[in-house]
């Protein structure tokens, strides 16, 4: 089992599970698919005009995830990564779905931002294609969003996620599968307006090959080739011919339309309208099928984390350089914080320890904006910036850790945090306090005890404290701050 990895892709149209086997050839790891599951959920169709998911849509999702959960129930947590996309991002009642979904699957679910979805999609497609130095455009029409990526090799250079999707457009323009010329006109115009924001930038960068990686692209290619509208791939002429047949018949049920799977019939017109708008806006001549996409990108991202090439580490380094972080101070704070955290007897979650490490590296980002309340600027940047490799939950965790790195603890509901989380905050605050002089020093007699029942005991050598009156005073204030939010903090000499 140790050589298996599982990726769960919770899209707005379909849920997918991919199990891959890791094989090393000449020292280079590769992933070979050994099992795949796909179920059409139409989650985005369950959103009302206020972006509230219906109970029926939530139940459909939970039922599918229970089946997926049975397939991977013997996997360990480090073998599984589940990512959720646009509908999970926009649903206002996601708190009703997420706990039930995680319980059904048996593993945590990450809601990833659009730019991270785009990065993983490109990685998945690129890993399934022959190596090439040519620029590649990858387009993924999902149920609720469409991702546009230009990259070379395995690296994306330009990424964007737009709010156009085959399920949401079906609901808006082709309800009940009814197709009219007017509906196509409205859908294409709406998609073109969204794509107009990026079209000039993308055309300027350019590419040599274009690939469609979604179920919509695969369905369009299958229909065009099987129905005789195209000899190879997707072309604008072929799509326009298919569009006329859909309009003539009034739905995707025309006997002249070949190669269309039953589960794609309802969303084919919307997917086609979006693709036509993409071709016209970006001036694409031909688009080929790109395999892999998000689920494969997730598998390779997991593999990267296993072999110590976590994309998030690379992002942190880039941010440290971009925001001119004092690296010596960052590493000084990190070493103290992790040393304190690791000394605590409770069993710590790896994701919290990683977050503490990254928060220490990035805690002074806000200084590049303003020294006044810099920690607020830091928290804002870490929550809202595009951070490749990081899920939305990852970024929120970093934001909270850095927001309370100093000042009032009452600005968060820290008394309700998990033990691991408030202990990480404690260690970061103490580390920053001890590193205030921005120079290395020996902290004599330092030890920390922090128990789940909110008891904190910090011990330091009395002689050392006598020589450092500012640190003593700061620690006494720190104790008062924790006591004010219900913790029993004692400074022991």
pLDDT higher than 90, residue 46: yes
pLDDT higher than 60, residue 216: yes
Answer whether residue 463 is part of any domain: no
Looking at 271, 304, 337, the residue that finishes a domain is: 304
Are the CB atoms for 80 and 301 separated by under 8 Å? no
Are the CB atoms for 289 and 233 separated by under 8 Å? yes
> Which band of pLDDT confidence, cut at 50, 70 and 90, is reported for residue 307?
low
Span 226-234, average pLDDT: 91
Answer whether residue 469 is part of any domain: no
Q: Are 176 and 234 part of one and the same domain?
A: yes
Q: Are 207 and 147 part of one and the same domain?
A: yes
Q: Are 92 and 150 part of one and the same domain?
A: no
- For residue 457 the two structure tokens come to 């005991």
CA atoms within 13 A on the CB side of 283: 11
* Residue 237: per-residue pLDDT: 96
Residues 6 or more apart whose Cβ sits within 8 Å of residue 418: 352
pLDDT for 87-135, tens place per residue?
Answer: 999 999 999 999 999 999 999 999 999 989 999 999 988 888 877 888 9
Q: Are 138 and 281 part of one and the same domain?
A: yes
Q: Are 165 and 239 part of one and the same domain?
A: yes
Q: What is the 3-state secondary structure (H, E, C) of the chain?
A: CCCEEEEEEECCCEEEEEEEEEEEECCEEEEEEEEEEEEECCHHHHECCCCCECHHHHHHHHHHHHHHHHHCCCCCHHHEEEEECHHHHHCCCHHHHHHHHHHHHCCCEEECCHHHHHHHHHHHHHHHCCCCCCEEEEEEECCCCEEEEEEECCEEEEEEEECCCHHHHHHHHCHHHCCCHHHHHHHHHHHHHHHHHHHHHHHHHCCCEEEECCHHHHHHHHHHHHCCCCCCCEEHHHHHHHHHHHHHHCCCCCCCCCCCCHHHCCCHHHHHHHHHHHHHHHCCCEEEECCCHHHHHHHHHHHHHHCCCCHHHHHHHHHHHHCCCCHHHHHHHHHHHHHHHHHCCCCCCHHHHHHHHHHHHHCCHHHHCCCCCHHHHHHHHHHHCCCCCCCHHHHHHHHHHHHCCCCCHHHCCHHHCCHHHHHHHHHHHHHHHHCCCCCCCCCCCCEEEECCCCEEEEECCHHHHHHCHHHHHHHHHHHHHHHHCCCEEEEEC
Q: Are 187 and 231 part of one and the same domain?
A: yes
Measure the CA–CA gap between 161 and 172, rounded to whole angstroms: 19
Q: Are 145 and 283 part of one and the same domain?
A: yes
pLDDT higher than 70, residue 484: yes
Q: Are 395 and 362 part of one and the same domain?
A: yes
- For residue 295 the two structure tokens come to 């689920």
Looking at 404, 425, 440, the residue that finishes a domain is: 440
Answer whether residue 24 is part of any domain: yes
Span 139-145, average pLDDT: 93
Answer whether residue 174 is part of any domain: yes
* Residue 386: per-residue pLDDT: 79
> Which band of pLDDT confidence, cut at 50, 70 and 90, is reported for residue 415?
confident
pTM: 0.72
Residues 6 or more apart whose Cβ sits within 8 Å of residue 357: 334, 337, 338
Average pLDDT over all residues of the chain: 91
Answer whether residue 480 is part of any domain: no
Residues 6 or more apart whose Cβ sits within 8 Å of residue 296: 7, 18, 20, 31, 33, 123, 124, 125, 127, 128
Answer whether residue 445 is part of any domain: no
> Which band of pLDDT confidence, cut at 50, 70 and 90, is reported for residue 53?
very high
CATH of the domain at 187: 3.30.420.150
Q: Are 84 and 188 part of one and the same domain?
A: no
Expressed as residue numbers, the domain containing 429 is: 310-440
% of the chain beyond a pLDDT of 70: 97
Answer whether residue 319 is part of any domain: yes
Q: Are 268 and 321 part of one and the same domain?
A: no
CATH of the domain at 67: 3.30.420.40
pLDDT for 68-93, tens place per residue?
Answer: 999 999 999 989 999 999 999 999 99
How many independent structural domains does the chain possess? 3
> Which band of pLDDT confidence, cut at 50, 70 and 90, is reported for residue 346?
low
Looking at 245, 261, 290, the residue that finishes a domain is: 290
Q: Are 98 and 201 part of one and the same domain?
A: no
Q: Are 46 and 83 part of one and the same domain?
A: yes
Q: How far is CA 228 from CA 164, 250, 270, 279, in A?
A: 28, 20, 21, 20
CA atoms within 13 A on the CB side of 167: 22
- For residue 6 the two structure tokens come to 């599982």
- For residue 113 the two structure tokens come to 């931002």
Are the CB atoms for 30 and 299 separated by under 8 Å? no
CATH of the domain at 406: 1.10.3210.10
> Which band of pLDDT confidence, cut at 50, 70 and 90, is reported for residue 306?
low
Answer whether residue 300 is part of any domain: yes
pLDDT higher than 80, residue 292: no
């Amino acid at each position: 089992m140790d050589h298996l990895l599982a990726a769960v892709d919770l899209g707005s149209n379909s849920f997918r599970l991919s199990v891959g086997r890791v094989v090393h050839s000449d020292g280079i790891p590769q992933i070979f698919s050994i099992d795949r599951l796909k179920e059409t959920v139409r989650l985005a169709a369950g959103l009302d005009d206020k972006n509230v998911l219906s109970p029926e849509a939530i139940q459909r999702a939970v039922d599918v995830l229970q089946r997926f959960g049975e397939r991977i129930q013997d996997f360990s947590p480090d073998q599984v990564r589940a990512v959720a996309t646009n509908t999970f991002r926009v649903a206002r009642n996601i708190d009703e779905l997420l706990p039930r979904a995680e319980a059904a699957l048996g593993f945590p679910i990450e809601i990833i931002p659009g730019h991270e979805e785009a990065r993983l999609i490109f990685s998945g497609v690129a890993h399934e294609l022959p190596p090439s130095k040519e620029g590649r455009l990858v387009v993924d029409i999902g149920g609720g969003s469409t991702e546009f990526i230009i990259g070379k090799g395995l690296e994306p250079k330009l990424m964007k996620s737009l709010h156009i999707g085959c399920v949401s457009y079906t609901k808006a323009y082709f309800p009940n599968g009814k197709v009219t010329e007017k509906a196509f006109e409205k859908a294409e115009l709406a998609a073109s307006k969204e794509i107009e924001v990026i079209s000039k930038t993308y055309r300027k960068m350019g590419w040599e090959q274009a690939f469609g990686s979604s179920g919509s692209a695969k369905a369009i290619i299958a229909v065009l080739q099987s129905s005789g509208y195209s000899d190879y791939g997707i072309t604008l002429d072929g799509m326009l011919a298919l569009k006329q047949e859909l309009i003539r018949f009034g739905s995707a049920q025309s006997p002249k339309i070949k190669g269309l799977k039953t589960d794609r019939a309802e969303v084919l017109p919307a997917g086609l309208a979006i693709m036509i708008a993409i071709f016209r806006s970006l001036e694409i001549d031909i688009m080929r099928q790109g395999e892999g996409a998000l689920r494969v990108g997730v598998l390779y991202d997991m593999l990267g984390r296993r072999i110590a090439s976590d994309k998030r580490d690379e992002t942190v380094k880039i941010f440290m350089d971009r925001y001119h972080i004092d690296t010596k101070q960052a590493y000084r704070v990190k070493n103290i914080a992790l040393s304190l955290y690791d000394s605590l007897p409770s069993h710590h979650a790896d994701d919290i320890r990683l977050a503490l490490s990254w928060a220490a590296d990035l805690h002074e980002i806000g200084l590049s904006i303003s020294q006044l309340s810099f920690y607020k600027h830091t928290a804002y940047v870490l929550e809202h910036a595009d951070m490749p490799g990081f899920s939305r939950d990852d970024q929120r965790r970093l934001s909270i850790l850095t927001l309370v790195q100093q000042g009032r603890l009452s600005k968060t509901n820290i008394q309700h945090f998990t033990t691991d989380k408030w202990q990480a905050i404690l260690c970061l605050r103490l580390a920053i306090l001890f590193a205030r002089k921005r120079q290395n020093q020996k902290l004599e007699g330092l030890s920390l005890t922090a128990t789940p029942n909110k008891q904190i005991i910090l011990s330091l050598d009395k002689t050392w404290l006598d020589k450092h009156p500012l640190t003593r005073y700061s620690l006494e204030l720190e104790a008062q701050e924790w006591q004010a939010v219900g913790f029993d903090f004692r400074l022991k000499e």
